Amino acid sequence: MHHFFRPGLLLAVPLLGLAVAACGPNNKAGAAKPDLLSANLDTTVRPGDDFYNYANGAWFRQHPIPASESNWGIGKEVQNEIYSRLRKLNEDAAKASAALGSTEQKLGDFWATGMDSAAVNRQGLAPLQAELTRIQNISTVTGVQAAIARLQQLGVNALIGGYVGQDAKNSEKMALQLWQAGLGLPNRDYYFNKDARTANIRQAYEQHLNKMFTLLGQDAATAQASTKRVLALETKLAGASRKLEALRDPYANYNKMSLAKLDGLTPGLNWKPWLAEMGFAKADTVIVGQPEFYQEASRLLRTAPLADWQAYLQWQLVHAYAATLSQDFDQENFRFYGTVLQGATEQRPRWKRVLDTEEEALGQVLGQQFVKEYFTPETKQRYEQLTENITASFREHMEALDWMGDSTKQKALVKLSKITRKVGYPDKWKDYSSLEIKRDSYAANVMRANQWRYRYEARKLGQPVDRTEWGMTPQTYNAYYNPSNNEIVLPAAIFSIPGLLDADADDAIIYGYAGASTIGHELTHGFDDEGSQFDDKGNLRSWWTKADRKAFDQRVGGIVRQFNGYKVLDSLHINGKATAGENIADLGGIIIGLDAFKKTEQYKKGEKIGGLTPVQRYFLGYALGWQTHQRPERLAQALLTDVHSPAQYRINGPFADVPAFYEAFHVTPGDKFYRPDSARVKIW
């Protein structure tokens, strides 16, 4: 689901804690009677016109999007079950008189400060006051740099996107990476796109900045001036930032250089002491993702007035911590990032927002408790076996490819055989003993947690790569492929189907829901337009013959064109190039999962359940993973910022390329998403 893995980027407080839908079975809510799949159908829709609404329409009618949410779907339903379990865990911990430094004490105190809204309101801006004063007292460019270095460690996205991650061309080494960063709007396009929707968001952003500066205590004229300063600075940074699709080219975003060369790229900046202030004293080389961004950043550091930087840093700080501050900050933050950008009209309950923040701070502590109670050894075993079966099916597909020559094929098979498969939860958990959590202030706890996590990641520089580490917690409804580790990571929660015990889910559902849209999807990421450029050891290296790469690129071009053609909202189309990797992975997962399913007893018997054949149930099981609908505001944001296509097209798009789907649901040339055989994309 998640593709290109860039660990170590801090998220201070999730603005809305949006769960990302993907795919998933295992649960505690009694056997489904009537049949889950047939109960969700909207039979007034023809499957070949809009399978997304045919498969899920009845469910959408029964589950409108709540006012507090910008989208709603199966991932949110899973999340709700997880929320209620974690809430109890925290409430018990907060009541216990646990020993100082114990896991229970940390959870209990974090929860207590987060839930005590009266104390949060009383404290107002006080938790940030020392940092704001420090920014106020800046008197030189070096002072600006020192403030940026400090704010980085507090989880504030100010100008520098520095993190430690595997060197793409030498996956045994942890390297310092610099990525474009520092914008208050979701990405560069928001600063420049001319359509009415985006222009209105820019206007609302200006009002939001003004309000935040007013809440910081500035008078009307000063707040107005500060707003203009921030907008001017961020617009220049946005102008030097790369577009979403350009960030997916691993070679173009790999620019390794010595610190001396980096100094030369950014005249006037002396990086060695600055990086040391950021906690990267050991760095002697750096991999710069977007050199032109850092050239512009250095130019602005030299030329923009100090007052511009002070306004910008104050804004970035209060933006990062708004959700932990008093109600006025929290509500204004929600008004813009929740309502204007995402379409939600009321705040989610406080306890859920505290849990989202705690997930960032103490995720693996929660994870340990979660799997102990809710992910049995039998369930783990079922999904390890399913992963094995899907991998075997992929192997057969690879061997049978007619467009790939033998030498590339042998290397691809080696790469597939070496993909590490992490299922459920890690064997080794993070040690949080050095993280101090107290009952003094919610914002202070988030600050300490951010500093702890920053140091935890920074210390990896120069250390051997720990390939056992997980970049997601077990209670996350998501999954990822990490090209540098050549691994797929499948957290426990991704296998949950709300209201259906794992034991009661038939293989057709499981193979569609977990096998195709998660396991097969993540495996295919190893061989999509981006992942295919990494070898079996996780190194960025050309291992294809030229002819095979050309044949592959032609097929990728077909899927790019197909998705570019989908107009979704207003004048907004899907960005076929930016979403290519995910669309390839969806199509691959469906094809591979189906052939694995054909080896099961259920398929061989061919009996109907709920009036549906096994193959129909397989496709509906996949569609269940994308049972999610969203508000237009949220959809518009996703089209500009997300490398995944909207849920509707993660079903209708790839299914239009799968012959077995046409057969199972009697799709004919008169149907809306019918594509003639010659136009159908076939990759894996």
| Structure confidence by residue, pLDDT tens digits, 189-216 | 999 999 999 999 999 999 999 999 999 9
Query: What's the confidence (pLDDT) of residue 369?
Result: 81
Report pLDDT digits (tens) over 276-304.
999 999 999 999 999 999 999 999 999 99
Check residue 511 and give its pLDDT: 98
User: Is residue 27 scored above 50 in pLDDT?
Assistant: no
pLDDT of residue 18: 25
Q: What is the mean pLDDT of residues 616-635?
A: 97
- Residue 141 pLDDT exceeds 70: yes
User: Mean pLDDT over residues 159-182, rounded?
Assistant: 97
- Coil/strand/helix, residue 235: helix
Judged on CB neighbours under 10 Å (0-12, 13-18, 19+), 209 is buried
Query: What value does the mean pLDDT take over residues 268-278?
Result: 95
Q: What is the average per-residue pLDDT within 405-422?
A: 98
Q: Average pLDDT of 132-151? A: 97
Give me the phi and psi of 471, to 5 degrees please: -95, 5
Query: Nearest-5° angle of CA 353, CA 449, CA 101?
Result: 105
When pLDDT is averaged across residues 492-505 and rounded to a whole number, the result is: 90
Alpha carbons within 13 A on the beta-carbon side of 637:
22
Cα–Cα separations (whole angstroms), residue 175 to 111, 172, 257, 430, 464 = 35, 10, 11, 21, 11
Q: Shortest CA distance to 446 belongs to which of 367, 354, 370, 369?
A: 354
Given this model, what pLDDT does residue 9 score? 30
Full set of structural domains in the chain with CATH: 36-62+393-424+480-679 (3.40.390.10), 136-310 (1.10.1380.10)
Query: Does residue 488 carry a pLDDT above 50?
Result: yes
* Contact criterion met (CB below 8 Å) for 278 and 169: no
Question: Is the bond preceding 498 in cis, omega lying within 30 degrees of 0?
Answer: no
| Secondary element (H or E) of residue 215 | helix 196-215
Q: Are strands 487-491 and 420-424 parallel, antiparallel or unpaired?
A: parallel
Residue 52 scores a pLDDT above 70:
yes
Q: Look over the chain and give the mean of its residue pLDDT values, rounded to a whole number.
A: 93
* Predicted confidence (pLDDT) at residue 142 exceeds the cutoff of 90: yes
SS3 491: strand
pLDDT-wise least confident of 47-51, 100-104, 170-174, 497-501: 497-501
Rounded distance between C-alpha atoms, residue 43 and residue 33, angstroms = 19
Give per-residue pLDDT as tens, 639-673.
Answer: 999 999 999 999 999 999 999 999 999 999 999 99
CB neighbour class for 130 (10 Å; exposed up to 12, middle 13-18, buried from 19): exposed
Matching residue, tokens 């114990």: 102
Query: For a pLDDT cut of 70, what percent of the chain falls above it?
Result: 95
Question: Do the bridges between strand 285-288 and strand 170-179 make them parallel or antiparallel, or are there none, so unpaired?
Answer: parallel
Q: Give 69-90 pLDDT, tens digit per residue.
A: 999 999 999 999 999 999 999 9
pLDDT value, residue 532: 97
List beta partners, residue 179: 161
- pLDDT bucket at 413, cuts 50 / 70 / 90: very high
Position 5 pLDDT exceeds 50: no
| Partners of 424 in beta bridges | 491
Q: What percent of the chain shows pLDDT beyond 90? A: 91
The per-residue pLDDT for range 301-356, each reduced to its tens digit, is: 999 999 999 999 999 999 999 999 999 999 999 999 999 999 999 999 999 999 99
Number of H-type helices and E-type strands within the chain: 28, 11
Residue 103 burial by Cβ neighbours in a 10 Å radius (0-12, 13-18, 19+) = middle
Task: Out of 23-27, 558-562, 653-657, pick the least confident.
Answer: 23-27
Q: Is 204 buried (19+), middle (13-18) or exposed (0-12) by CB count in 10 A?
A: middle
CA distance 309 to 142: 12
Strands 71-73 and 161-167, sheet pairing = unpaired
Strands lying side by side in the sheet with 420-424: 420-424, 487-491, 480-482
In 3D, which of 237, 284, 277 has the Cα closest to residue 256? 284
* 7 pLDDT more than 60: no
pLDDT, tens only, 593-603: 999 999 999 99
Question: In the predicted model, is pLDDT for residue 20 greater than 70?
Answer: no
Q: How confident is residue 33, by pLDDT bands cut at 50, 70 and 90? A: low
CA distance 106 to 90: 10
Closest CA to 290 of 246, 259, 245: 246
- Least Cα distance to 129 among 307, 325, 305 occurs for 325
The CA R_g of the chain, rounded to the nearest whole Å, is 25
pLDDT category of residue 372 using cuts at 50, 70 and 90: confident
